[in-house]
């Protein structure tokens, strides 16, 4: 009797990720964007090509191209005879951003209740915020805060709502980071979110909407004039 040998597959594993060849200008833009959105580069801060090139150990060309990308994003502006700077926020921009954010998140809460969506992801982000606050880890708290609100929108299961939210994302992220960085009461920031999840879990639309609206309006009271970096 002939014993057949098991077939040997020559197929490569499917979980080996390809190496990404990301242009240098994109890498530089990503780092600068993160610095702006996290509040480390504050509104009004000058962007000097030579200084940035030296700090990031690259030539001036990718710096110039990266700054152009950020200008297209609306995060950087050109000042005549002075060069580039992080675009300052205005009180109107903050108010308009948060009025739209409130509308989006209230709509999301209603749809979550209607659809009976799982709240496990929201609870996870609440736990992450609590842990970050206890560790006094500002960057981790901002990331978890952002993830919570993004998850709230995603759980609404509404493609147009999600697309519209993404258009606001850059400004929302920047304002949240600047406001939280100035306040530095990380426990209070983290503590604002579990009651929203509990109201959703209880099926209490009125309380959930009030908590979301109150939370949004507190952040909307942030005065952008207090965080402008003067030359």
Categorize the per-residue pLDDT at 128 as very low, low, confident or very high, splitting at 50, 70 and 90: very high
Q: pLDDT, tens digit, for every residue of 47-64?
A: 999 999 999 999 999 999
| DSSP 8-state class, residue 41 | S
Full 3-state SS string of 183-216: HCCHHHHHHCCHHHHHHHHCCCHHHHHHHHHHHH
Topology of 24-86 in CATH? Answer: Arc Repressor Mutant, subunit A (1.10.10)
User: Where do the domains of the chain lie?
Assistant: 24-86, 91-227
Element (H, E) at 78: strand 76-79
- Tell me the mean pLDDT in the region 199-214: 95
pLDDT averaged over the chain? 86
CB-CB contact of 196 with 147 (8 Å)? no
pLDDT at 204 over 80: yes
pLDDT at 228 (0 to 100) = 58
Task: Tell if the pTM clears 0.95, that is, is over it.
Answer: no
* Fold of the domain spanning 91-227: 1.20.120
Per-residue pLDDT for 5 more than 60?
Answer: no
Tens of pLDDT along 168-188?
Answer: 887 888 887 777 666 667 888
pLDDT at 14: 59
């Amino acid at each position: 009797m002939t014993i057949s040998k098991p077939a040997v597959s020559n197929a490569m594993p499917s979980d080996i990720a390809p190496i990404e060849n990301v242009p240098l200008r994109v890498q530089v833009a990503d780092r600068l964007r993160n610095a702006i959105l996290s509040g480390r580069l504050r509104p009004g801060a000058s962007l000097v090509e030579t200084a940035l090139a030296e700090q990031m150990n690259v030539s001036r060309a990718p710096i110039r191209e990266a700054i152009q990308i950020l200008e297209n994003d609306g995060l950087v502006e050109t000042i005549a005879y002075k060069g580039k700077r992080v675009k300052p926020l205005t009180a109107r921009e903050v108010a308009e951003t948060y009025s739209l954010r409130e509308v989006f998140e209230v709509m999301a809460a209603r749809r979550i209740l209607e659809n009976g969506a799982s709240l496990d992801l929201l609870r996870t982000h609440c736990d992450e915020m609590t842990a970050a606050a206890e560790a006094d880890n500002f960057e981790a708290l901002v990331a978890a805060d952002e993830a919570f609100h993004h998850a709230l929108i995603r759980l609404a299961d509404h493609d147009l709502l999600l697309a519209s939210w993404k258009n606001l994302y850059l400004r929302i992220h920047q304002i949240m980071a600047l406001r939280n960085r100035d306040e530095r009461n990380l426990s209070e920031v983290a503590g604002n979110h579990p009651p929203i999840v509990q109201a959703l879990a209880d099926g209490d639309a009125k309380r959930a909407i009030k908590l979301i609206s109150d939370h949004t309006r507190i952040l909307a009271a942030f005065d952008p004039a207090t965080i402008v970096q003067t030359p």
